[in-house]
Amino acid sequence: MLDVRRMQVLRAVVTSGSVSAAASNLGFTPSAISQQLATLEKEAGTPLLEKAGRGLRPTPAGTLLAERAGRIADLLGETEAELADIRAGRTGLLRLRFFTTAAVGLIPQAVAKFRAEHPEVQLDLQLQEEGLLDDVAAGESDLAVVVLGASVPELRGVRFVHLADDPYRLVLPASHPQADQASVDMAKLAHDSWVNSAVTDGGICSRLLEDAYASAGFTPRVVVETDSTYSAQSFVAAGMGIALVPRLGLEVVHPGVEICEITKPAPTRRLHLAVREAVADLPATRSLQDCLHEVAQR
């Protein structure tokens, strides 16, 4: 395989016209330059230089390698400049993944703020409900907004940052007897029909709802399940039941419902940002993390 450094030595000899001149320019001895050229010729399998009077001139193969060495030098220079931009947070690509309710009350605002501060950093945005952590661990995404349980998992190559606690709110039809209350104890709603804002699939959000019902001492009469917070509001507005919806999913409130706090218990989701270790300390990553944290804390 051709050695790039020896190609640069050949380029110096070709541009300067002699071994001694190249040695002077590069800070080497003429014998060291000659050794590098001899080794490069063995790698190339053909002569690279020939005598021309008191100097040297390249053979066709030497001309080819000298020209390519110039291109390689230019490419390396561009690459170093691009790396410097990435390290400084001036450019690059960050792949961000998130779930549905984060796409309502968190991602749009945070991304708008980030783009205003870092217009040259590209963002690959994708909504997905499953495999968020697996994708970060596998290097298929750089950051993911996730909901975690009581403990933070240990995942190799992934760093977790707490963004905010996301409390559930009680969504009532405007005609409900408790609609004018600032807060309602959950036990008072045991006989109501319920619209689940998470599909019962064993996931963290569905378990949070199940635990809330159990803590209040009743098994809910669930009339419908949906994984859309706005469709849950629509079912409530239509009089089909009441619902618990995370605050993050209430950025847009249906005109036919009332929102109040729920107590005893007060279920809360824990929002975290999963960050790939390889990019966690880049300025652009830290800036995006700060934007997400700032919006989540509002």
**Comma-separated ranges of CATH 3.40.190.10 domains in the chain:** 92-164+270-296, 166-268
Task: Count CB neighbours of 5 within 10 A.
Answer: 9
Q: Which fold has domain 92-164+270-296?
A: D-Maltodextrin-Binding Protein; domain 2 (3.40.190)
Whether residue 4 has pLDDT greater than 80: yes
Those residues with Cβ within 8 angstroms of residue 21's Cβ, 6 or more apart along the chain or in another chain: 13
- Would you state the pLDDT for residue 243? 97
Q: Which fold has domain 166-268?
A: D-Maltodextrin-Binding Protein; domain 2 (3.40.190)
- Would you state the pLDDT for residue 203? 83
As its CATH architecture, domain 4-87 has Orthogonal Bundle (1.10)
- 142-to-46, 137, 280 alpha-carbon distances in Å: 47, 9, 8
Instruction: Give 95's pLDDT tier (boundaries 50, 70, 90).
Output: very high
Whether residue 82 has pLDDT greater than 90: no
**Comma-separated ranges of CATH 1.10.10.10 domains in the chain:** 4-87
Contact of 59 with 53, CB cutoff 8 Å: no
Residues 284 and 95: their CA atoms lie apart, in Å, by: 12
Whether residue 276 has pLDDT greater than 90: yes
Q: For 205-241, give one letter per residue: b (16+ CB within 10 A) or e.
A: bbebbbebbeebeeebeeeebbbebbebbbbbbeebb
- Would you state the pLDDT for residue 127? 95
- Would you state the pLDDT for residue 240? 97
DSSP three-state, residue 52: strand
Give pTM, 2 decimals. 0.70
